[in-house]
Structures are given as structure tokens and as C-alpha cells.
Amino acid sequence: MTADLMQALQSKTARIAVIGLGYVGLPVACMFARAGFHVTGIDILKDRIALILQGISPIQGKEPGLEELLAETVRSGRLEATTDYGVCREADVALIAVETPVDDETKKPRYAALRSALPSLGKNLKRPSLVIVESTIAPRTMEDVVKPALEDASGLQANRDFLLAHCPERLMPGRLLKNIETMPRVVGGMTPEATELTLTLYRNIVKAELDATDCLTAELVKTTENAYRDVQIAFANETALICEAVGGDVWQVRALVNKSPGRNMHLPGAGVGGHCIPKDPWLLISNLTSDQYAPRLIPAARAVNDSMPLHMADLVADALREAGREVRGSIIAVLGYAYLENSDDTRNSPSAVLVRRLRDWGAEVHIHDPHVPEYCGDLAQTLKGADGLVLMVAHDTYRQLDLASIIRTMRTPIVVDGRKVLSPVPGAFFREIGMGLAQ
Ligand code: SAJ
């Protein structure tokens, strides 16, 4: 089995199916097609398939090179797209790249997309074939979810009739193609043969190091690397809150701390959004039972980071109070709605939490974001007559703000900076994350 698959990969006669044509699946489908494989993308969204077949990317935002590569690979016939899982009967490799969100309440994985894709693939699974999961998954998902689901639906036996591997994506919006090519990847096979085949496949598109390991290690690495970042950001945020309480300046503290060898204090800020960092820590700890280990640091870090947009609301209320105004009935301009600077991606936006809190308190909130179509109106108009300016995202646009002029157009000159972008100006009631008020 392995020899046939290896030969098909090395000769590039292997046919590849990519299940899930979003941020992860579409770019990787295009790159395997460009590498010379015949690739068929599968998605449940007919509209998305229709766009792709016209060579139009359904992915929002600027993704350098993606639209051109998509058009070229579709035109060449190397990349096809369908809603029909029947194409998997011809697929030597099936790559799964569906979303794996976490439930807002339970913080447990919502594997609906995965649990739908697996039986659909299983029913059409070719023998032999290699199934690779790129989606970020909780440790033990390959063994406890993917393997049994495919065996049940196919009647085949894993590691005998088909092989399994986990090769977690390491993508960032705005650099999807570049990241696939330049980021090192972990390749975790359920068997050494699966690892070897997957390494052979990815060497066609990844120029960086490919680290061979097993499924569990690959699942742990991906979720841990993002949990690590979340804890680091939470540490910076907690230090900021301490500095505010004692009248310190977290930005000066951070700069001097980072001069100490081996320190890398991250940036405090108005919150932690996106589709990776808020989710992956919960995936990492989701399969733990209380008699195994009850994690404390990772949930605490999530709580600190989730509290930051609410802290921004407190800073707004505090500044309004100093200016003799209540939140209720005030007009607040929120600058930045994307989760990341210079991005249009609003997934898990911290600004959404702030806006909800201010509106719950009775404020009228106007949102501006130059990268989000819904909010890219006139900035001066948004700020005119406002009682507060709250900077939530460090978009380049906001770095050029002429605050001295802007506050003259506001009804109440309150400025709250959540990303260390603005500088205090005379006449403004100024607050910023991590800056304690002069005692
Ligand atoms: N943030 C802070 N302080 C920081 C860094 C980030 O508050 O010091 C906030 C950002 O404002 C944002 C959120 O955290 O709201 C996430 O920012 P991010 O820079 O981590 O960007 P992401 O979510 O796109 O994370 C991706 C991840 N990449 C993958 O999962 C493949 C992450 O592992 C990378 O470390 C990160 O990009 C990166 O380094 O750019």
C-alpha cells in the first residue's frame, strides 16, 4: 500500500481531495495544484464552489497572490471544485481543513464540521489512501474521533487500508500563501509510513523545515504554541493592570524588563481576538478529565485577556465621570473593529465586547474601521460631537490622527487608547491601558 502511494506522490500522479475551502483549505489546494497535482476541492457551500470555479477567491481581505494562483490553477484544469464527496473515490490523498471552533459557553470543541466531513469522506474512502487533517484539533482527536469515524463509515481498517496524519496549519490572514511556503510544519503520522508519505507530499509546497513526529505530538504542538502566546499576552495585560493600579507605566516597565536576558514580555492591549489564540488554549485542555489534571493557568490567562475590552469600558466610564458625564446618553466613537491591526478580519473581535458593554450601559456607540466595509465611513464625521474616542486596534490609519484638532470637534474630549498608538494632548481627558494616573 505504502509503495503504491509513495510512487503516486513522487510521480505527482496522486489525486488530492481538499475538504473545506476556507482560509486553510483553499490556499493549500491551490499550492498543491501549482506543484503539479490534480486537486479537487470540496465544500458544502455551493456559492463558494461557484466563485472558485470562476477563479474568484471567496476569502475576504488582501491575500497576495491567491486570486492569481486560484485563477491560474482553475484555468489549467489542475484545480477543480465540487460539493460532491464522490470525488474522494479517486483521491489518493484526502486533506481535511474544516473549521474547529470552540463553544462560547462550554469552551468545548464544536466538531460539527469535522463530524460531518468524516463520514462523507469515509463512505467514499479509496483503498489505499492517506488522510491528513490540517485543522487545529484537541490532543487525541486523531485517535478518538478521526480514526473511528473513518473506519465506521468506510468499513476499512486504519493503518492497514488507509493511513492517517495530522499536519496542523500555521497560517496568518494576509500571508496565507507565504506562510504555507515559509513556515516550518509539524508532520504527525499515526504510523511511520503515514509520516513518511506526508513529508513527501508537503515537500512539494513547504520550503521550510518539516518536523516528523506522531499525531498526538502534532496536536499538542499546535494547540500549545497558541496557548503559550495567549498566556504571554495575559501576563502583559495583568502587568498593565498592576501598573494602572499603582501609578506605573507598563510600556516603560515592559521595555526595561525585556532588556533582561530571556524575557520577552508581549504587548498589553484592549483584548485578544482572532480565530486562533482565543480558541486553541481551550482545545489544548478540552480532553482533560478532572481526575487527570485540572488546568489553572490557561483558563486564568483566557479570563484576563477576555476582561480587557471590559476594562476599556471601565476606563471610558472613569474618564467620562471625571468630565462630569455619565455613560448613559453619551456618544462614544470606537476606532477599530477588526481583531488585528491592518486586517479586515473581525472574528472574535474584542471591540464587539466593548461595544456591547457600552450599549448595555446606555451609550450611543459609533464604530469606525478603515478595513471593515461595514464601518469604513468618514472618520472625522464619526468623531464629530462624540463624548469619547476609544482606540481598540492599531491600524496604521490611526497613527496619523491629529488628536489636538479632533478633540476640538468632540462634545467631550475623552480619549482612551487601548494599543499605545496615541499621545496625550492638552485639554483631553486621556486614559490608556497600563498607564496609572499620576497619584
Ligand atoms: N495581541 C496582543 N498582544 C500581543 C500580541 C497579540 O494583545 O503581544 C492580540 C492582537 O491584537 C490580536 C490577538 O492578540 O487581537 C491575536 O494576535 P496574533 O498576533 O496572535 O495574530 P493571530 O491571531 O493571527 O495569530 C497567528 C497565529 N498563527 C497561527 O496560528 C498559525 C499565532 O500562532 C502567531 O503567533 C501569530 O499569528 C503571529 O505571531 O503573528
Distance of alpha carbon 260 from alpha carbon 274, whole angstroms: 30
CA-wise closest residue to 72 among 23, 30, 27? 30
pLDDT (average), residues 121-127: 98
Ligand 1 proximity of 272 Cβ (cutoff 6 Å): yes
Q: What is the pLDDT of residue 62?
A: 81
Query: Do residues 40 and 82 touch, judged by C-beta distance below 8 A?
Result: yes
3-state secondary structure of 269: coil
The answer on pLDDT for 2 being more than 90 is: no
Task: Judge if the beta carbon of residue 172 lies within 6 A of ligand 1.
Answer: yes
Catalytic residue (choose from 126, 147, 222, 420): 222
**Which of 167, 215, 243, 276 is labelled catalytic?**
276
Tally the C-alpha atoms within 13 A of residue 119's C-alpha that lie toward its C-beta.
Answer: 7
Residue 223, class by beta-carbon neighbours within 10 Å (0-12 exposed, 13-18 middle, 19+ buried)? buried
> What's the average model confidence in pLDDT over 116-125?
98
Which atom of ligand 1 approaches the CA of 267 most closely?
8
Q: Above 80 in pLDDT, residue 201?
A: yes
DSSP 435: B
| Position in ligand 1 atom list of the atom nearest CA 270 | 7
Please, what sign has the CA dihedral across residues 289, 295, 300, 306?
negative
- Per-residue confidence (pLDDT) for residue 59, from 0 to 100: 86
The number of the ligand 1 atom at minimal distance from the alpha carbon of 179 is 31
- Residue 221's closest CA among 260, 192, 184, 180? 184
What mean pLDDT do residues 243-268 have? 97
**Is pLDDT of 438 > 70?**
no
The pLDDT value given to residue 121: 98
185 CB-near residues (< 8 Å, 6+ apart) = 167, 168, 170, 202, 206, 208, 209, 210, 211
How much is the pLDDT for 255? 98
Q: What confidence tens digit (pLDDT) does each residue in 30-86 have?
A: 999 999 999 999 999 999 999 999 999 998 778 899 999 999 999 999 999 999 999
Q: What is the pLDDT of residues 204-224, one digit of tens each?
A: 999 999 999 999 999 999 999
Confidence of residue 132 (pLDDT cuts 50, 70, 90): very high
Strand locations in 27-73 (E):
38-42
Percentage of the chain exceeding pLDDT 70? 100
CA distance 191 to 160: 10
Whether 282 is in the pocket of ligand 1, judged by its Cβ within 6 Å, is no
- pLDDT of residue 439 exceeding 60, the answer is no
Say which residues have a Cβ less than 8 Å from residue 169's Cβ, sequence separation at least 6. Answer: 24, 28, 97, 134, 135, 136
**SS3 per residue for 353-406:** HHHHHHHHCCCEEEEECCCCHHHCCCHHHHHCCCCEEEECCCCHHHHCCCHHHH
> Length of the chain in residues, anyone?
439
Q: Which atom of ligand 1 is nearest to the CA of 266?
A: 8
Residue 237 has pLDDT above 60, yes or no: yes
Mean pLDDT across the chain: 96
Q: Is 171 in the pocket of ligand 1 (CB under 6 A)?
A: yes
Calculate what percentage of the chain has a pLDDT beyond 90: 95
Nearest to 341 by CA among 243, 273, 291: 273
Overall average pLDDT of the 381-393 stretch: 98
Active site residue 222: yes
176 contacts 204 by C-beta, under 8 angstroms: no
**Measuring CA to CA, which residue among 222, 216, 227 is closest to residue 185?**
222
Q: Supply the pLDDT for residue 269.
A: 98
What ranges in 270-367 are assigned the alpha helix state H?
280-285, 297-322, 350-360
Quick one: average pLDDT of 142-163? 98
- How many whole angstroms separate alpha carbon 7 and alpha carbon 131? 17
Is residue 364 within 8 A of residue 418, CB to CB? The reply is no
126 as an active site residue: the answer is: no
Q: DSSP characters for 141-177?
A: HIIIIIHHHHHHHH---BTTTEEEEE------TT-HH
Write out pLDDT tens, residues 273-313: 999 999 999 999 999 988 999 999 999 999 999 999 999 99
Q: Is the pLDDT of residue 401 over 60?
A: yes
**Ligand 1 in contact with 267 (CB < 6 A)?**
yes
Q: What is the pLDDT of residues 81-120, one digit of tens each?
A: 999 999 999 999 999 999 999 999 999 999 999 999 999 9
Closest residue to atom 38 of ligand 1, CA basis: 172
